[in-house]
Structure formats: structure tokens, C-alpha cells
Chains A and B, each alone.
Chain A
Amino acid sequence: MKCDALIIGGGVAGLAVAETLLPSLQVTVLEEERLGGLAWQLGCKATTECLACGVCRSLEMKRKASRFPVLLGERITTVERQNGGFKITTQKRAIETRFVVIATGASPFPPQRMPQFGFGTLKWVYSGFDLEKKLNREGLNEFAPFHEIAFIQCVGSRNFQEKRGYCSQVCCRYALRLAENLLFRFPHLHIDFYYMDLQVFGKKSEKLWETSEKVKLIRNLPFAAEEGNGKLSVVFEGERGVSREKYDAIILSVGMIPSSGTKRMVELLHLTSTVEGFIKDYGGGVTSQEGILVCGTASGPKDIETSTREARMVGEKIKRMEN
């Protein structure tokens, strides 16, 4: 099998590259699991108005995917350089290609790795990603009986000791959008927001700043969640030593870590990676290997909008290199 560009990963970024290249070049998308990637699992957070979370973009991309060849359920085993291009073998076939675009993406931080917040052991502790998936599938009716909810930001990101010293860029905004959505559904809710800095920028930022005034902002980073008398409490260091605040549910806004596919690509293709494990982008999607480009969250945490935009730029770049 021969093609001009092989795109590894069928998430939003991968599909956007394919879309950009489509009419002039032959593309193939390789996806191990299923199309749509991480963004496809998220839910639309619109209230009476669109909050511009961009999830619908991934839907659109996925629908358009029927136009180009997608190889599902295949995994790359070996990569060789061959007359100016690459020869890539999967379990089923060999593909000859000129360019490789890596769009293997990121995965949400598993909150089990921070056991102090009791994710998985305490009943009403959710991760932000859980909530997104719920919103996508069955809705958030589960939250109707609750009165007080806490969001804990920066779970798994901005932590230099654990080699995750980066801001995940999306958590503040998705948490605020979820808060807006929850407040819209259940106006009786009281939401507390434990945070470091609010990173609100981009589309609909005015609206999100408004939301940030509706919730109670507490600039503090809790260190544990406990259960007692059927209620959860958040433990943090307040002005007078350790303080506890009671809640019905706790939502952990988890950040992004490089996905297993991204880590595999780093090893397989001998790419330079950042300290955090993302693929190092030398500007405009250029990696340490010639002919291999990277886009989307494989090179660092990004929102859907930025990933798509970056992917399109990479697409344009390949077109220019081809001519």
C-alpha cells in the first residue's frame, strides 16, 4: 500500500490534517481503537447558548472521515526509512509513505494516581472527564439532589515533582463550562472552586469570566478529601490551620498526560520528547526526525480549537513541502 502522508491517530487533529490534505494528496489514517479520539467522548456543554467548547467540531470531523481511507484497529510494529520516505509495517500490511504525521494525542490524567482525593474509593468523587462522559451519554440528572459541590482544579497538572510541570490549558475552561451547565440545570446548586489561577482565554471567555463570578472562588489547593457522616469534606490549609468544608460531591478537574500511543511513538520513531513525555515540537509541527510531523495534543496539552488549527497548519506545510 502506498500513500503520500500517513496519519497516525484518528482524533480531531489527525482527521483535520487528513481533511486539509485530502483533495491533492493521498492520505491514510491509522487508528488503533476508534475514530474521534478523546474529544468524541466529551459532551456538549451548551446551556441556552453555545459555550464554544468545540466538541461539535470533533463530531463534524468524524462524519467527514468517511471520505478517506481509515485503517482501524491496526498497530504499527516497525518503521524503516526507504528512498526518501518511510516503510511502515502494521500487523496486517506494509505502507509506503512520504510523510508521517503523528496525532496520537493525550489522555486524561487518571485521578487514582492521587489517592488522597479518594477517587474510586469515595462514592461522590468524580473526575471532570467522568462528568464529560456522563454529559455525553446519560446527562447530569444524578446531580439534581445535591446542594453543594466542589471543583478541585489542577489535579495532575502543574506539579514539577511528578514531572508534570505544565498547565493543561483546558481544565479551568471545561470546569467553568461544566459549572455553568450545572448551574443552568440546577439553579439551587452552590459551587465552590478551589484553584490556583484561572486560565480563561479564547472563545467565549467573557461568558466564562461571568461564570467565575457565579461560583465561589477559593484560591487554595486542597490536599485531601474525606468522608464522614455520609458527607464528603475537602481538607485544605486555611487561614487558621487545617480547615474542612462539607460537600455533597467533589469534581476533580483532571489535566492531560501523554497517551500511551504518544509514548510508543517516541520510542518507535526515536523522537525527542519533552520532560513531561510529550513529543517535542520545534515550531510548526517539526520534530527531531525529518519527514515526521506532529500536531494536536501529542506535542502538549491543547484545546480542540487549537489542535484543529495546528493540524491544519501542519497540513498546509506538507502541501508546500510536496510542491
Chain B
Amino acid sequence: MKRILWLCGKKGDFPLPFIQEMEEKTQVAIEVREWEEDSSLQGYEGVFLLADALSLTFEEMIRFAFQKSFNPLKIRLFPWEEVKRLYGVPSAHKTWERFFVEALATLNHPLPLSVVHHFPERRVLLLPHSAENLKQALEQAGFVVASPLESVTIARQGINFSLYAPSFQTTVGAIVVVPEWQEETPFLIPQEVEETRKILPLSSFSTLLLQREWRKRTIVFLMPKGNQSKAEWRETFRLTQELAGERKARVWVLAEEVFVAGSSFEAMYREARGEGVIFEKVDLSKLSLRPSRDMRQIWVEFQSERDAYPLRIQADWVAYSYKRTCLPFLLPSLWKEPFFPSSLNDLENPNLQSFASSLRGIFVSSQYDEDDFPSLLQSLESYFREGIFSLSSGGTVDEEKCVLCLTCMRTCPWKAVEIDGKTRGKKAKINWEQCHLCGMCFAFCPASAIVVNSLPQRDFLFIRDLRGE
């Protein structure tokens, strides 16, 4: 009797009656176990993984199998997400059963597949090229940084990227995208206020500190919300505390939100308040600034949260901080081919994803946050060291059937489908190094031209069934 191991996230997740029913029907012994790192896979004919419950990707599954010295081709991912939603629907139950029986049958037949281990080229491209401090950090860590002097276009070549420029051509294994920030003041500074020369950004204000007499002067700090660095707030707390304490100035901090989420920030905030700094929460878009008559002071008028009427302060100095917004980095504009992987659209706001983008070999880092560098270097290092597993010849495109509708190219989240051939006989071709075996192309091909040998794609039979094909 065959022995099958069924690994799932939590036993309660899974309808055990179904498994018992299958045991009787197919005459195999199914052992259901919860996922554990050290679960042994030896002695089983095949392993079914509830993919969603374990949130394993296919590549991780292969890696896992290699660690356990188990043939990765004997592992099947069970299409959990579809099943969970349709549990109790009789027709779904049927397709589910069909999947199980089919998968069981293929465990015995050798699939025309092989598992390949690729290593990307140990070169990195920085985009944009101006991030000098990051470049130094990368070079110190032993990476070769490609630094083209002209603008390049990028195309994928296997798991590497090819860079094309008018005068040269090279290959890199990874691309690091560095987001750029736009600095702007969240409120309007009128020309005549600017002319008083009593309003200045926080960074240049701190240089004034030693030169002036601050006793009984009024200083207003304007702090907008969003994307300020911790260093900026630390500086604000330090400055205000010193000004109000030792130098006996009157200090107001008009902030949209006071930032206290840092180590010992809360204590600094408290100390500053103890010294007599007034923190006021205001909406900075409703702030109005105008110069006093002698042009030596600035009137700051604001509406505080507590009071119904606006308040006015006659300030000797006004220091402000910038509001920073992340500029979208248009990686698609550098892409050589007209079709761009849809998964890269995340990069329109690179601020959002730091550790890695959803595409292999593309990383995002912050230029301003140097704390981020070790993390980036680590991810790069492990990417280069560990390489990529992929299945080769997982399927074929039936050239007779292919109508060149490009549906596969559009749906492929990994940009693995290419168009190959001469002008007349162009057909879709799957690039197996890029392929994550997600099966999207297979599921959506209207001509059913994509044939798959490996099983994970069979999950998408469900989608076909649901669409009524």
C-alpha cells in the first residue's frame, strides 16, 4: 500500500472527512501531519503540501525537498485557496477529487522534468546612478557595481539583466532601485516673509544657535507630518530643550503629529515640555505667515485643536522642516521590450517595499536611511549565494495552436513568456529560468496552446472549470 504524507499548516484547517473518503476510494494510506521544520519525508511515496496554509512558494518547496533529500518532483502543492472557498459546493468537490486522483497517478510516472540550480552574475546596477554612499557601501562589501555613464535600457536575459547603452553592453545579476524624495514645505511661505530672513529650514537653523542671543526671543518650529527622519525630530527635541532651558527663549513647536516613536524619544519630549516648550498640534495647511511692520519679526497665525479661535504668535525666528514625498521611479521606461511585467508596478512607489520587490533580482533601498544598507547587502548576498531553483521543460507551447494573442505575455507576472521566431512564424516561448510555475499562462490561454508537464499548474484546472470551459 502506498504511503502519502499530507502536510498542512494546522490540522483544524483541513476537512479530514474528505481525506478519509479518498483513502477508501484510492486505497492509499494518507498520513496528515502539521507542518514542522524537522518533519521527515523519508519513506513516503509522495507528499502533498497545502500550499496556502504554509505559504510556500514553489521554489521554496524545491529547496525544502533538497534539504530533506527528497525528490522535489514527488511533491504536489494542493490548490488550497480555491478549495477553501468552495468547500461544500458539490461540483468543486468533484474537481478536487479529480485533482487528487490525477496527482496520485502521476506520482508513478516520471515527468519529463529536471530541476536546475542557477546562479546570477555577481554584478549590481544602481538606479539612479547618483547614489554615491550606497555605491561605496556596495563596493566595500565586495560587489561589482556597474556604473554606466550614459542612460541604459534593460532587458532580461535568463535570470540576469542585460544593459544596453550606445557604446557598450554588459550583464548584471541584480538591480538596486534607490527611490528619490521630493522636499517641499507643507505651507505657503509668502515672498515678503522670506524677505525678513527670519524663516529658515531646520538644518540651517542649528548653525545659528551659538552665534545669537536668545533670551526672551520667540522661536517657532513648524513640523509637518509624514516621512521625516528620526534624526530630524531628535534634533528638534534637543534644540528646543536647549533654547527653552539654558538660553531662556520662548519656544513653540507647531506640529501636525509629534513624533515619539523612537528609543528615548518619549523621555526627550517630556523633558522638552518640562523646560517650557509648548507643543501645539495644528493643521499646517491652514497656517498663515506674514511679516511684522518693521520686517524683523513674523506673525504666525494658526488654529489650534483645542480653541475655537485662531491664535497669533509674534515670532523672532521660524524654523521649519520639509515634508517629503517619494517620487515614483519609472523602471518601465528603461525596459527594452514594450511589455513590462505587471508585478513591477509596485515600484511606482518604491518607498513601499524595502526588502525586495516581487521580481527576482530587483531590490529597493533607501538612500537616506543608512541603517537600511546592511539589510540590503544581506539580501543581495544571499540572493547571489543561494541562487535560484527552477524546473526546466515544465511544459511546451503547442505551436500549431498558438495564435499569438499575447495573452500569456500579459498575464505572466514574472515576464517569463517571450515571443520567439522569425517575422512570419512568431510564437510564444516560455523562458524556464524566469518561470515560477505559477500556471497563469496555462490557465488563461484562450487557444489552450500551453501544455504543462509539471503538476503545480494543474491547480489552474479549477480556474478553467470555474470559467466553464
Query: Could you say which of B225, B375, B385 contacts A312, with CB atoms under 8 Å apart?
Result: B375
Does B67 lie at the interface of the complex (its beta carbon under 8 Å from any beta carbon of A)? yes
Q: Which residues of A contact B258 (CB under 8 A)?
A: 197
Q: Pick the most buried of A57, A62, A137: most chain B CB atoms within 10 A of its CB.
A: A137
Does A205 lie at the interface of the complex (its beta carbon under 8 Å from any beta carbon of B)? yes
Does B465 lie at the interface of the complex (its beta carbon under 8 Å from any beta carbon of A)? no
> Are B349 and A197 in touch, CB under 8 angstroms?
no
| Interfacial residues of chain A within 42-65, with CB under 8 A of chain B in the complex | 50, 52, 56-57, 59, 62-63, 65
The distance in angstroms between the C-alpha atoms of A299 and B264, with both chains bound, is 11
Q: Which residues of A contact B259 (CB under 8 A)?
A: 197, 199, 201
The stretch of B209-217, B350-358, B408-416 that contacts the partner chain: B350-358
10 interchain residue pairs of minimum CB distance: A199-B261, A169-B261, A167-B260, A66-B37, A309-B375, A167-B261, A300-B263, A197-B257, A312-B374, A313-B374
> Are A204 and B352 in touch, CB under 8 angstroms?
yes
> What 1/0 flags go to B350-383 for Cβ under 8 Å of A?
0111110000000000000001101100100010
> Are B38 and A205 in touch, CB under 8 angstroms?
no
> What 1/0 flags go to A151-165 for Cβ under 8 Å of B?
000000010100001
Least Cβ–Cβ distance between B34 and chain A, in angstroms: 12
Q: Which residues of A contact B228 (CB under 8 A)?
A: 201
Using a Cβ–Cβ cut-off of 8 Å, how many residues does chain A contribute to the interface with B?
45
The distance in angstroms between the C-alpha atoms of A229 and B10, with both chains bound, is 39
Does B189 lie at the interface of the complex (its beta carbon under 8 Å from any beta carbon of A)? no
| Interfacial residues of chain A within 285-303, with CB under 8 A of chain B in the complex | 299-300
Query: Could you say which of A160, A219, A313 contacts B270, with CB atoms under 8 Å apart?
Result: A160
Query: Could you say which of A56, A137, A201 contacts B261, with CB atoms under 8 Å apart?
Result: A201
18 pairs from A and B in contact (CB 8 Å cutoff): A19-B378, A62-B37, A63-B37, A63-B60, A63-B64, A66-B64, A66-B67, A165-B267, A165-B270, A167-B266, A169-B261, A197-B259, A198-B257, A199-B259, A200-B225, A205-B351, A209-B225, A219-B281
The distance in angstroms between the C-alpha atoms of A210 and B266, with both chains bound, is 25
Evaluate whether A205 and B261 lie within 8 angstroms (CB atoms) in the complex, with A63-B60, A66-B38 already known. Answer: no
- Residue ID in chain B nearest A300 by CB atoms: B263
Q: Which residues of B contact A203 (CB under 8 A)?
A: 351-354
Does B265 lie at the interface of the complex (its beta carbon under 8 Å from any beta carbon of A)? yes
The distance in angstroms between the C-alpha atoms of A200 and B351, with both chains bound, is 14
- Residue ID in chain B nearest A239 by CB atoms: B306
> Are B385 and A23 in touch, CB under 8 angstroms?
yes
| Interfacial residues of chain B within 175-207, with CB under 8 A of chain A in the complex | none
Q: Which residues of A contact B378 (CB under 8 A)?
A: 19-20, 312, 315
Q: Pick the most buried of B264, B378, B385: most chain A CB atoms within 10 A of its CB.
A: B378
- Residue ID in chain B nearest A209 by CB atoms: B226
Least Cβ–Cβ distance between B442 and chain A, in angstroms: 24
The distance in angstroms between the C-alpha atoms of A313 and B375, with both chains bound, is 8
Evaluate whether A52 and B261 lie within 8 angstroms (CB atoms) in the complex, with A20-B378, A62-B37, A312-B378 already known. Answer: no
> What 1/0 flags go to B296-319 for Cβ under 8 Å of A?
000000000100000000000000
Interface of B toward A, CB cutoff 8 Å: 10, 37-38, 55-56, 60, 64, 67, 225-228, 230, 257-267, 270, 281, 305, 325-326, 349, 351-355, 371-372, 374-375, 378, 382, 385
Q: Which residues of A contact B264 (CB under 8 A)?
A: 166
Least Cβ–Cβ distance between A295 and chain B, in angstroms: 12
The distance in angstroms between the C-alpha atoms of A166 and B64, with both chains bound, is 41
| Interfacial residues of chain A within 72-114, with CB under 8 A of chain B in the complex | none
> Are B266 and A166 in touch, CB under 8 angstroms?
yes
Q: Which residues of A contact B38 (CB under 8 A)?
A: 66
Least Cβ–Cβ distance between B283 and chain A, in angstroms: 12
Q: Which residues of B contact A169 (CB under 8 A)?
A: 261-262
Q: Is the interface of B mostly helix, strand, loop or mixed?
A: loop
The distance in angstroms between the C-alpha atoms of A269 and B68, with both chains bound, is 38
The distance in angstroms between the C-alpha atoms of A205 and B352, with both chains bound, is 8
The distance in angstroms between the C-alpha atoms of A199 and B257, with both chains bound, is 7
Does A35 lie at the interface of the complex (its beta carbon under 8 Å from any beta carbon of B)? yes
Does A149 lie at the interface of the complex (its beta carbon under 8 Å from any beta carbon of B)? no
Q: Which residues of A contact B375 (CB under 8 A)?
A: 308-309, 312
Q: Which residues of B contact A209 (CB under 8 A)?
A: 225-226
> Are B374 and A309 in touch, CB under 8 angstroms?
yes
Q: Which residues of B contact A264 (CB under 8 A)?
A: none
Least Cβ–Cβ distance between B387 and chain A, in angstroms: 14
| Interfacial residues of chain A within 119-165, with CB under 8 A of chain B in the complex | 137, 158, 160, 165
Query: Could you say which of B55, B60, B305, B374 contacts A219, with CB atoms under 8 Å apart?
Result: B305
Does A172 lie at the interface of the complex (its beta carbon under 8 Å from any beta carbon of B)? yes
Q: Which residues of B contact A200 (CB under 8 A)?
A: 225-226, 257
Q: Which residues of B contact A205 (CB under 8 A)?
A: 226-227, 351
Least Cβ–Cβ distance between B173 and chain A, in angstroms: 18
Q: Which residues of A contact B60 (CB under 8 A)?
A: 63
Evaluate whether A316 and B374 lie within 8 angstroms (CB atoms) in the complex, with A158-B266, A200-B226, A206-B349 already known. Answer: yes
The distance in angstroms between the C-alpha atoms of A65 and B38, with both chains bound, is 10
Query: Could you say which of B354, B382, B385 contacts A305, with CB atoms under 8 Å apart?
Result: B354
Q: Which residues of A contact B372 (CB under 8 A)?
A: 309
> Are B266 and A165 in touch, CB under 8 angstroms?
yes
Q: Which residues of A contact B55 (CB under 8 A)?
A: 56, 59
Does A2 lie at the interface of the complex (its beta carbon under 8 Å from any beta carbon of B)? no
Least Cβ–Cβ distance between A110 and chain B, in angstroms: 21
Least Cβ–Cβ distance between A44 and chain B, in angstroms: 8
The distance in angstroms between the C-alpha atoms of A217 and B372, with both chains bound, is 32
Does A216 lie at the interface of the complex (its beta carbon under 8 Å from any beta carbon of B)? no
Q: A165-B266, A308-B375 are in contact. List 16 more A-B contacts (CB 8 A).
A: A56-B55, A158-B260, A165-B267, A167-B261, A167-B266, A197-B258, A197-B260, A199-B257, A200-B225, A203-B352, A209-B225, A219-B281, A305-B354, A309-B372, A313-B371, A313-B374
The distance in angstroms between the C-alpha atoms of A65 and B64, with both chains bound, is 11
Query: Could you say which of B263, B355, B385 contacts A57, with CB atoms under 8 Å apart?
Result: B355
The distance in angstroms between the C-alpha atoms of A172 and B325, with both chains bound, is 21
The distance in angstroms between the C-alpha atoms of A206 and B225, with both chains bound, is 11
> Are A35 and B225 in touch, CB under 8 angstroms?
no
- Residue ID in chain B nearest A169 by CB atoms: B261
Does A188 lie at the interface of the complex (its beta carbon under 8 Å from any beta carbon of B)? no
Q: Which residues of B contact A158 (CB under 8 A)?
A: 260, 266
Does A185 lie at the interface of the complex (its beta carbon under 8 Å from any beta carbon of B)? no
Least Cβ–Cβ distance between B317 and chain A, in angstroms: 25
The distance in angstroms between the C-alpha atoms of A75 and B225, with both chains bound, is 45
Does A231 lie at the interface of the complex (its beta carbon under 8 Å from any beta carbon of B)? no
The distance in angstroms between the C-alpha atoms of A63 and B264, with both chains bound, is 34
> Are B226 and A52 in touch, CB under 8 angstroms?
no
Q: Which residues of B contact A165 (CB under 8 A)?
A: 266-267, 270
Q: Which residues of B contact A281 (CB under 8 A)?
A: 263
> What 1/0 flags go to A169-207 for Cβ under 8 Å of B?
100100000000000000000000000011111011111
Least Cβ–Cβ distance between A201 and chain B, in angstroms: 7
- Residue ID in chain A nearest B227 by CB atoms: A205
